Every structure is written in C-alpha cells, then in structure tokens.
Structure 1
C-alpha cells in the first residue's frame, strides 16, 4: 500500500512485518538465558521495525524486509545490552571454555571431545555440561573482540559511532566480509565434528527450533542447548585470531 506521495504506508509495513519480529525474537531467545523474556525482545524489535519504517526509502533498491531485519536485530541487541543479560561471571566462564577448546585443539590437532574439554577445565563432565547450559547466550560477538592490542576501552565502537549504515567504506560488516572473514567462517564450520555441523545447519539454515532438532538428533531439548553452546564455543575458538 502506498500513500498519495508514492511511498509505502508505515502502518501497513508495521502490520505486515509483525510476524517477522516475533520469529526473530524466538530465534534469538533460543540462544539466551532463561531470564530473558520473549515479550521484552518483541517490544524492542517493534521499536526497531518502527525505526526502519521511518528511515526506509524504497527508491534505494534494497528490500524493506532486508533493511528492517537489521534494524530489528540491532534494537533487540541494544535491549539485551541495556539490561545486562549476561553477567560478567558468565561471560568470563564462556571465555574460559573457548580458551580451553583452543588450547586442546592446538595440542591434539583435532576437535576435542566433551570429556577432554571438561578435564582441561578441571571439571566433572556433568558440571561442564551444566556450564554449557548456563553460558548459552553469552557467546554473541563482543565489541572487545574487535579491539587491537593496546587500545583503550572501546575505540572500535567510537570509530563506528559516526557510521551512517552505508554498505562498504567504513561499514564494519563490509570490512569483515572484504577481509575474508566469510571464508574463514565456512572453513571453521567445516572443521567442526559432524554432529556440530548438522546442528548448526538445522538451526541456522533450516531454522528448526530446539525441540525439532532434538527429535532429529534423538536427544533432549536441553541437550541440544548444551551442544549448540559448545559448537559456538568451538567456532569462537577457531576464529579467535580473525576476530
């Protein structure tokens, strides 16, 4: 639907894309601690959708859904950061798991098993699996991952503060892609154990939920959560130098 000026009607965009906001919130919620409320994510996502409908210009060639999804996801992440969704202790635990995996795989020359990772952390296997459950959602990309040695607190964030969202030039996503990060990510996924590759494919490509993935892998939903957390830790360990 268009206005008399030939632009897309804002109310129509909001109504049409409400299901997308809920879908994105559910996908993000699966990777977050149980303390995060779905309604809070949806509310933040709707704010992002409203912002997208205000800023979108259909004469630029980009599809609205593509443009809006970036704004929606950004609004949800802002909400999570504002409410300190992951405690400092959990984030430190997540980093310890990544460091243990990286050290083990460097020594072994192969992917480490759960028992081996648990021993590296000096933990019982049950405790390690419980930790995986706890750190689920503490593995989103940290701003600190982009900082260079010797930099102050958040210089990378400051460098991007004046970025107007153009693709290319100073856009951080474009910089990552141009630097070959996409190819390194593909290689890192290919080096994961087959079960981890299957899980990531089912979750991110097929967009199945944890219950559906559990049925395919013949494990419980909570076990899928643990395996997903470990798979992401493996990826982060493999990509540590690139990040």
Structure 2
C-alpha cells in the first residue's frame, strides 16, 4: 500500500495487520496465567508491528506477515520477560494438580473426573476448578519441560517460545511423538475437543466456548486439566 506520493502507507498497513496482532495475543494469552491482560499484549504487539514495518526489506525474500509475526511475538515475549507475572505459588499449584491427577488415575486405572481429582487433593469441586482457572496456560506441553524444571528455569522459553524453539526439534523423536499422540487420544471426550479446536483448528477461547456452549472460564479449566493429564502421561516416557 502506498500513498499518493508513492511512499509506503504505514497507517494503512497497521490497520490491515492489526487483526494479526490480536490473533497472536489471543494465542499467547491462553498459555499464560490469568493475571496477564490481553490489552497489554495487544499494545506491545502493535509496537512490534510498527517495528516490523520499519525494518522490513522485500529484498530478503520473506513474506511480510511471516516477518511481522516474528517481530510481534518477540515484542510480547520481551515484555513478559520484564514483568514478574508468574508466582512461585502458581508453579506450586500446577505441580499439585498434576500430582492429584496422577494419584487419582493410578488408583482408578482410568482417566479421573474432576470430582475424583478434587477428592484426591482434599478440595471441593469448586475449589479444584478455581485452581484450574488460576493456573491457566501455565501447563502448556513443551517437551523440554516434561522433566519438571525448577523455579529458576526460563518459563517463557519453555512455554511460549516461537515455532523455531527446541521443543519442536524434540518432537522429531518418534517415541515421544507417539506417546503424545496416544496421550491425546486417551483424553476425556470434552477435553479432547478443546485440544483439537485450539491446536488443530486455531480457534480462540471465545469460539470454543460458543461451540461447547460453556463460558470461556470453563474452557480454560478444561484446557488446564487436559494439559495436566498430558504432562502426567508424558513423564512416564
């Protein structure tokens, strides 16, 4: 897009690619704790978009959207790294949920219901579901995290790194890839639907909630529990 004077129309391009920023923000926030604000990610992402427009060189042979996506995600990650947004309490609760799921399923020999996991943890169903909401996204499965890193690990690099990060290289290992496929197939039906819609069909939480006729908060709970189950299963490999 160019102005009447033949110069690149930056404002028009920003308007055109603003939906890309929002889409990337929605994808990233689903992997982050509830205290991270969507509008904050969008604002930082717009700065990344502006930076991409100023740095893009068509001679490099890369499509602008690909280049911009890297810059936008990079800006969001840099902002998150500079913010103390993941508490030790959240990490501890994440591990407690996984331990509760593991113990319940060991006793039952099948996928445990939320009520059964809650009972194993000594919580009411409402308390357990609140815990799932609080750890929203902190459990996204990236295989280098399966070993259960210590609090000092770089969470962002393990959980919301870009598509060129090491976890995808680890997925080339047939044993781990097959284990992940089997673990996903073993998920309870509704949790399997959430994972499929989010990761395979690139739907956001609002869209998934509309399909399942539940609230976005409930989708977050189902997502957190599904990921916790996957982490438990993959640790066995």
TM over 0.5: yes
> How many residues of Structure 1 are paired with residues of Structure 2 in the alignment?
226
More displaced, 51-60 or 181-190? 51-60
Give the aligned partner of residue 111 of structure 1. Answer: 111
Counterparts of 1:93-104 in structure 2, within 5 Å, are 93-104=93-104
Change (3 A) 1:184 1:103: same
Aligned partners of 2:48 and 2:71 also within 8 Å: yes
Give the aligned partner of residue 203 of structure 1. Answer: 198
Give structure 2 stretches of 5+ with no counterpart.
Answer: 3-7
1:172 correspondence with 2:161: no
Give the aligned partner of residue 86 of structure 1. Answer: 86
Work out the CA distance in 2 between the residues paired with 1:194 and 1:66. Answer: 34
Work out the CA distance in 1 between the residues paired with 2:137 and 2:104. Answer: 23
Query: Equivalent of 2:219, from 218, 224, 237?
Result: 224
More displaced, 207-216 or 78-87? 207-216
Give structure 1 stretches of 5+ with no counterpart.
Answer: 3-8, 159-164
Q: CA deviation at 1:103?
A: 3.3
Change (3 A) 1:129 1:172: same
Give the aligned partner of residue 65 of structure 2. Answer: 65
Q: CA deviation at 1:189?
A: 1.4
Work out the CA distance in 2 between the residues paired with 1:52 and 1:44. Answer: 13
The CA RMSD over aligned residues, in Å, is 3.9
Change (3 A) 1:95 1:16: same
Q: Which has the higher contact order (CA 8 A, sep 6+)?
A: 2
Give the aligned partner of residue 161 of structure 1. Answer: none
1:49 correspondence with 2:49: yes
Work out the CA distance in 1 between the residues paired with 2:148 and 2:229. Answer: 22
Q: Secondary structure at the match of 1:239?
A: helix
Change (3 A) 1:34 1:107: closer
Aligned partners of 1:10 and 1:54 also within 8 Å: no
Work out the CA distance in 2 between the residues paired with 1:117 and 1:148. Answer: 20
Q: Secondary structure at the match of 2:111?
A: coil
